Structure 1
């Protein structure tokens, strides 16, 4: 089986490289997804300290990756040429006459509310743990010996405002950094919010995500018709200063948080990329034992939870039993530590495939990954075509969901869905590109 998995990993790597050639960018969804899962399969199959997975588990993963590829190239020039349909012309990434401009006043007001709520949380944990004791804080939060106290109103704001904005604001600011006016207040407020979140949760992921979003937005900004504008980089001091300044700040923040937590970065990264197949198998067996079918609610719990939260708290409508069972099981994957090796325990990292399996078993993986690939391709192509701040920020969210597909189906989280809604409906106003530049 190891030889077969090794060959599969090589094939996925080849697909990743071919996608770079086709898309003229290393940050296209297919390259990231195939490269990531080739690494995961290889590390998982060769890890000496982890329990071995069954071939069935790897089969589900391989099928899922392949149908993501099929969905990605569905209706595309590449796919049509394979199945002998007519192909005419090249993709035209023309400029759009409409520009999307952030509503800075609204954004800054909401960021300020988030800062106040996070500051309250920091004061709470500092009074019990101390400042910058991130390693201790993380252990206490994981063990449940420290629980941040919030009122019902604060809980509502945290679910429907703080968490969605903590996730979506970095995408908005990253796009604004390259395509907009680089509003200083928004940048400062976002950085303060992320710093306070890190101090109250011992979680550095928000800074990592921010850094990724800046890189993605920058690559799109410096890319025209598939060619990097090297002459702009070489001549524009502003571009250099922006990249250098953002990189220094975010790298420093990442190093500081790692040192404060006292963790080994290399060990954590290697383990995180090794365990998804094992975690998928463990929790897949749990789903089979409980005979749970999500019927879409597992993958789209990010839609279900806010809806039933409002209905339950305002209209006192009780959660449907099936959705409640799926919701509790999803939470259990995050909170319950399981043995993935003789001396290794882990939580989360069940991967996107577990959610689709929970919904409809193998047909769920096939259909779900096909749709996922199709949506990723459509949004990526629209982003390249219009190259405006709104599409770039939306693509940042999609890129994140693909990059972290080894953790979970990201659309099962309310903060992702609500963040997408905020970007799509509230974060931007439309303006005429020509008028705005006069």
Structure 2
């Protein structure tokens, strides 16, 4: 059974309830020349907790699911022990040499197999041969015995990211951020650097601040500025606030002015206020826009759900700070109105906007009172300067380290 094919498979308990999804396999190194023993699987449960499933609990593995036998699951967070490896994280993309003909290659998968006694071991390695400096993408994929692939154990001279990225490609940004936290700093930075700017920006927004800073610092400054431009302005402002002032200015200078200016503005607001957590890019239209235009705007796939749930109606200009703020139109109202109806005739002007200095506790109270997912923020001239969304309120209402993986004492590696 090749391990990469297990990644993402659902794990079911004896009652048929889903426990989580397979994310990796844990192997224990041996002192002899025997291949590493597969001691268990790592499964990701709801709330992004990763736990260890001993192979003794696994009763069935097929192409659709992994099934567990009876017994109590240990729900402590998985921690890798010094004599253990994660197959996908540690072995995928390693550069190896195939013996005896000394052919260089890159690991694309590793197979495990159970003996008659039920003990699982790594037995074969799928290696793509290399010619010169480039790996052949088609053909020359060899399956060799574990013992013939030299360079699998120990600190690799080089380890690429292509095959690991392929496994991570379908993950949501929050799940990918969770996977990065399980990696060593070096591996995490390599994988993060290999993501495109937009994908990395989305993932950074889901990481704890110290991990955000670490990844950003590992990038060259031009790339870091490009990634900051792709982030939501409020997320970029939060990240830049963690950097020294001199580094902030260097990155601001490298960013395009139209991308840097909203971030600079957000950083001027006092922490713990509506201004410090709002997005400066809500959906804004003028009162003569039609319902059809509004529906087309909120269908844009890059809009987060909380932002797309309403249209803010203002006088021109529509970029913040806008012209005079007029009101809000919720998407449910848009669905009930004729497409040709203009927004000025259906807007709700009864929701009092926030001011940038409004404390977060008041923002939270008002959202809960009126069951809203976003509130407008206006300046002293009644110009819309942004909107506070419910996800931003939750993010800043939870403890500062809520994105950190819980790390109880001890490990449960096998």
Q: TM-score by structure 2 length?
A: 0.27
Larger Rg: 2
Which of 1 and 2 has higher RCO (CA within 8 Å, sep 6+)? 1
**More strand by percentage:** 2
**More helix by percentage:** 1
Q: TM-score by structure 1 length?
A: 0.26
